[in-house]
């Protein structure tokens, strides 16, 4: 399964559509900032399943869960924006949560800085900001019980 992971679109739905066009994903994950962008993308690409969470700029959607636990190919993947784990300061809280929840992957945004790295057995994946002019995003491939994360840019 090919998962297109994006975050921090901040109104740039055109970049999101371009990433979908380039990657033809099986599923899209949007990690917040802006919730409405994810909805607009889903309106344009209704055949692609969407999972999304609100970010710190999504004030009108505070009733939505700040995180979701997804499972693909037997892998436990937490999606969140990251602000509730203070990811701009450090990944300490995220690391503790990953161990506590037995996560295989922790997907977050918020910092606008791309990251794809393992901390222990957990893959930490931040796609960067799809809303920036260069448009950063990630692909997470889950196949036969294993997975691989990679960062891409539109430019």
pLDDT of residue 89: 96
Place of tokens 């002019």: 133
**pLDDT greater than 80 at residue 147:** yes
On average, the pLDDT of the chain sits at: 96
CATH number for the domain that contains residue 22? 3.60.21.10
Q: What is the pLDDT of residues 45-64, one digit of tens each?
A: 999 999 999 999 998 777 89
Q: How confident is the model at residue 101 (pLDDT cuts 50, 70, 90)?
A: very high
Cβ neighbours of residue 113 closer than 8 Å, sequence gap 6 or more: 126, 128
**pLDDT greater than 80 at residue 66:** yes
For the record, the structure tokens of 129 come out as 């900001």
- Structural domains counted in the chain: 1
Measured distance CA(80)–CA(93) in Å, rounded: 13
Q: Which of 75, 96, 76, 72 is nearest to 84 (CA)?
A: 96
Beta bridge partners, 140, equal 3, 149
Containing domain of residue 25, as a range? 2-153
Place of tokens 């992957």: 105
């Amino acid at each position: 399964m090919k998962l297109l992971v994006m975050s921090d679109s901040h109104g740039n739905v055109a970049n999101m559509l371009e990433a979908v066009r380039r990657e033809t994903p099986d599923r899209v994950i949007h990690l917040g900032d802006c919730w409405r962008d994810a909805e607009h993308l889903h309106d344009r690409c209704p055949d692609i399943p969407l999972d999304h969470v609100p970010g710190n700029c999504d004030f009108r959607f505070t009733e939505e869960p700040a995180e979701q636990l997804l499972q693909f190919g037997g892998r436990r993947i937490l999606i969140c924006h990251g602000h509730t784990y203070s990811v701009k300061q450090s990944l300490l809280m995220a690391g503790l949560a990953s161990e506590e929840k037995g996560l295989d992957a922790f997907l977050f945004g918020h910092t606008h800085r791309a990251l794809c790295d393992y901390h222990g057995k957990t893959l930490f994946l931040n796609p960067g900001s799809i809303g920036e002019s260069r448009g950063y995003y990630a692909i997470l491939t889950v196949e036969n019980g294993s997975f691989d994360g990679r960062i891409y840019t539109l430019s």
